[in-house]
Structure 1
Amino acid sequence: MTVLARARRVREALLGGRNQTWHATEALRRGLLLGVGLVVAGVLAHNVVLALLGAPLLAASVLALSTKPSGTPKVTVLPVARTGEAGETALATVRVDPGHGAELLAIRLPDKGNPGPGPVHLLPASVAEIACGLYRRAWGEGVDLRLDHLVAGPDALIVHGPMVGREVSRVLLPPVRELPAGPVPARPAGLVGVHRSRRPGDSTDLRTIRPFQPGDRMRRIDWRVSLRSNDSMPYVRENHAESDADVVLVLDTRFDVAAEIADWSLPARGAAVRPGGSLDTAVRAAASLAASYLRQGDRVGLVDLGRPRLYVRPGAGRRQLLRLRNQLVVCARSAGWSSRPVLNAHQVSGGALVVVLSPFLDDAVVGATAQAARRGNLVLAVDVLPAELVAEPEDRWGEPVRQIITLERRVRLDALRGHGIAVLPWSSAEQGLHVLRPGARRSR
């Protein structure tokens, strides 16, 4: 017997199958007892008032038992898209089959504009379909709809339920912001791209002017230079080739911290990541960077420092962007402490741009980043820790701890700069929009 079957048996034993059939409520039992008691007391005491008070209660209870609803109510939801965009409202259709003789339906539906399953709504049982909006502002995986319901007969004296509905969860992808195209060193893996390569080609960037050789095209001849030359030889203009580049986004999921140092040891409440924390910022930055480079035809991959098995090979196109955004949600869901960050050579191809998104709170991530630079890759370190850390106000050691953390991070970032790695903060949206070009200028 499986664990699920055992749990179902225990639940049925505790409930006695009561919720899954039409059954009387406590109000019906109290109405019967009170009605019979008042009528009997009125007859024995020869008191007409007591009999008149008990007669309506007894008649209503008997009428409810005689018109007991039948059938098995069913509440189902039509299929909803498993993925969506954060902050957008998706429509879900709920179909209701209350059975025969039902009058009221109490069902839990999401509230408009508020995340979560929502409150319980009281509706007439004659409703056949219910349209509700699913809304969640935070990206990630979460429950948007849970159809807990209860169906009641006349006067709500006989009910079916309450029944715990099936959860409908969706994956909301990290948002993408418009970023400027980032100039990165090209990896000569193709002849088509937007970045200048060291090889000669057909771009508009002049590479050199050299004497004419067999196989050169006539339209390449620079007649002005040829006429001014003393050797009476034709000269041709040789341009650079344009090729695409490999970009590897390296995500540090081992830390998820916010500006308040006192909350670093506490788990995030109600969400997979801390809103506005380092991991939230890193995921949003990675999604925006991936969209920016993929838009100009480059190949983008993803590496999780804490969990190497979540590696995504570099690829191009819209499908790659969708794959990367889904994988970012998986990385955030699997985030947790790992003592040794892993950035292997097979995960980063030669000549690729490596963008490391981390708060840089330990020496291990600095060593992994420097190792990637020593392999010959251009490395860009993006600091995702909030700019101003807040010390714990109730602890006398709060401010010294903040200063020590700040000084240690400053030493680590200076060590990265010593290896020729550009270090840029992602502390605000304005800085994030121009994070690419300063890094490229610094690398050149």
Structure 2
Amino acid sequence: MSRAERVREAFTGGRGARWHPTDALVRGVGLGVGMVVLGALLHRVELVLLGAPLLVSTLVALVSPVGGTPSVRVRALPRIGEVGSTRATVELDGGEGAELMAVRLPDGREEGVGPVHLLPASAGAVTVALRRDTWGQGAALRPDHLVAGPDGLLVHGPVTAPELGRTTLPPVRPLPAGLLPARPLGLVGAHRARRPGDSVELRDIRAFQPGDRLRRVDWRVSLRAGALHVREHHAEADADVLLALDTRLDVTAEVADWTATGRAVTVRPGGSLDLAVTAAASLAAGYLRQGDRVALADLGRPQLGVRAGVGRRQLLRLRTGLVRCARSAGWAPKPVLHVPHGALVVVLSPFLDAPVVELTVHAARRGNAVLAVDVLPGPLTPDPETPWGPGAARIVELEHEVRLEAMRRHGVVVVRWDGGGAPLAGALRLAARPGRRVVR
């Protein structure tokens, strides 16, 4: 016996793989025979008249041909989809002599495997609606079934079917791309790479350093400054955008829920991780639409990141990677981030601890343009069960504001994400202006 068969037998009590009689069959035969025999012994015709039809109908149902192995197959089930409703086809085969089938199917009104539906065995195929109102991984369909023969005297099952999961991608909201200098379309992408290169587009004029070529010397600036200065140009390559997702914390506006454990889902709806994933998916779609290279980094588990790429397939990989990172979310003592030179770094975090702030500032000190997206839900609601609730919530808010201000002083663009995208869009427009590096 295979492992799958042992698991199925454990769920069904060893009865799911064959046809077996029900209690109605035992009662019909026993009661029919008993009433006929008792009526004959007591010479009571009414007992015979009551028991004989019951016995005859039971025997007729037994002689009806019942056999085969009923099966329920699911086809046209998308493994990856968007938030909302979709449809799948379930093929029903009740076997020979089957009359009814009880199948667990979704009804399209709520998430999950759905209630049990009573269908005729000749239904053939049924189209079911699958609904998912939240992103992430979850059970989409589990077609448990029970097949009944004539008069329900013989049944096959119940059979616990394997659970079919479905990945619902995070929603994408339209956002304008910003924080990167534009370049003409048709070259590489819509934005220039921030790292130096050999193109004709001027990036900066700086002091001469050992190793610089003499043909790059700007003699006009050098004569005016009294020292050698060289021209630095942009590289002819796609701009790199790194989305750094902080999965170490997932908090809501209810401070009392921050220490709650034993939840059935990893991501709390409306929590910081939910907001961060939505913002990351929206930013990725905006920059990929402009032809830029976008990568994903998990600050808590670097091995779950997604390499930089372009195009629609990259957006699908990034959204799937966001779901994978959220599924493995959990506390890590020290965030890890490897920043490529010249890339735009977008850190999405509630910024409730010092290590993630230090990591963000360090990326800015290396010369990268850094955007800190604050996803802490607010305003915070104090714990009503303790007199220290308002004071504790106020301390958290003050410490949080101190961390944000420290990042602003180091040239990090700080913006708050409230789920709507409007503040982030405004910050991108302001930050794209020359000489504008601090957004409050």
Fold agreement, TM-score > 0.5:
yes
Question: In the alignment, which residue of structure 2 is the partner of 1:58?
Answer: 55
CA contact (8 A) 1:185 1:353 kept: no
Q: Compared with structure 1, are the counterparts of its residues 312 and 20 closer, same or farther at alpha carbon in structure 2 (3 Å cutoff)?
A: same
Deviation at residue 195 of structure 1 after TM alignment: 3.7
Q: Tell me the alpha carbon deviations over residues 30-56 of structure 1, each in whole angstroms, 9 at most, x when there is no partner.
A: 222222222233233333333322222
Question: In the alignment, which residue of structure 1 is the partner of 2:168?
Answer: 172
Question: In the alignment, which residue of structure 2 is the partner of 1:363?
Answer: 354
Q: Compared with structure 1, are the counterparts of its residues 191 and 13 closer, same or farther at alpha carbon in structure 2 (3 Å cutoff)?
A: closer
Question: In the alignment, which residue of structure 1 is the partner of 2:313?
Answer: 319
Aligned counterpart in structure 2 of residue 299 of structure 1, from 273, 281, 293: 293
SS at match of 2:341: coil
Deviation at residue 9 of structure 1 after TM alignment: 3.9
What amino acid maps onto 2:21 in structure 1?
Answer: A
Question: In the alignment, which residue of structure 1 is the partner of 2:423?
Answer: 431
Using the TM superposition, name which of 390-399 and 369-378 deviates more. 390-399
Using the TM superposition, name which of 52-61 and 134-143 deviates more. 52-61
CA contact (8 A) 1:251 1:357 kept: yes
Deviation at residue 305 of structure 1 after TM alignment: 0.1
Using the TM superposition, name which of 27-36 and 367-376 deviates more. 27-36
Deviation at residue 113 of structure 1 after TM alignment: 3.2
Question: In the alignment, which residue of structure 2 is the partner of 1:377?
Answer: 368
Deviation at residue 337 of structure 1 after TM alignment: 0.7
Question: In the alignment, which residue of structure 1 is the partner of 2:133?
Answer: 137
- The 5-angstrom pairing of residues 188-337 of structure 1 reads 192-195=188-191, 244-267=238-261, 269-337=263-331
Using the TM superposition, name which of 36-45 and 137-146 deviates more. 36-45
CA contact (8 A) 1:191 1:241 kept: no
CA contact (8 A) 2:137 2:167 kept: yes
What amino acid maps onto 1:85 in structure 2?
Answer: E
CA contact (8 A) 1:179 1:434 kept: no
Deviation at residue 119 of structure 1 after TM alignment: 0.8
What amino acid maps onto 1:92 in structure 2?
Answer: A
SS at match of 2:69: coil
What amino acid maps onto 1:406 in structure 2?
Answer: E
Q: Distance in 2 between matches of 1:373 and 1:255?
A: 23
Structure 1: which 5+ residue stretches go unaligned? 209-238
Q: Compared with structure 1, are the counterparts of its residues 314 and 12 closer, same or farther at alpha carbon in structure 2 (3 Å cutoff)?
A: closer
Aligned counterpart in structure 2 of residue 101 of structure 1, from 97, 109, 121: 97
Q: Compared with structure 1, are the counterparts of its residues 66 and 243 closer, same or farther at alpha carbon in structure 2 (3 Å cutoff)?
A: closer
What amino acid maps onto 1:355 in structure 2?
Answer: V
Q: Compared with structure 1, are the counterparts of its residues 24 and 299 closer, same or farther at alpha carbon in structure 2 (3 Å cutoff)?
A: same
Deviation at residue 431 of structure 1 after TM alignment: 2.1
What amino acid maps onto 1:23 in structure 2?
Answer: H
Q: Tell me the alpha carbon deviations over residues 365-395 of structure 1, each in whole angstroms, 9 at most, x when there is no partner.
A: 1111111111111111100011211112222
1:406 aligns with 2:409: no
Deviation at residue 317 of structure 1 after TM alignment: 1.5
Deviation at residue 329 of structure 1 after TM alignment: 0.9
Deviation at residue 276 of structure 1 after TM alignment: 1.0
Question: In the alignment, which residue of structure 1 is the partner of 2:32?
Answer: 35
Q: Tell me the alpha carbon deviations over residues 396-438 of structure 1, each in whole angstroms, 9 at most, x when there is no partner.
A: 2221221121111112112111212121100141324434223
- Report the aligned-residue RMSD: 2.9
Structure 2: which 5+ residue stretches go unaligned? 206-232
Q: Distance in 1 between matches of 2:394 and 2:81?
A: 41
Q: Compared with structure 1, are the counterparts of its residues 13 and 120 closer, same or farther at alpha carbon in structure 2 (3 Å cutoff)?
A: closer
TM-score, length-scaled by structure 1: 0.83
Instruction: Count the aligned residue pairs.
Output: 404
CA contact (8 A) 1:186 1:351 kept: no
Q: Distance in 1 between matches of 2:355 and 2:237?
A: 34
Q: Distance in 1 between matches of 2:423 and 2:317?
A: 26
What amino acid maps onto 1:157 in structure 2?
Answer: L
What amino acid maps onto 1:298 in structure 2?
Answer: D
What amino acid maps onto 1:423 in structure 2?
Answer: V
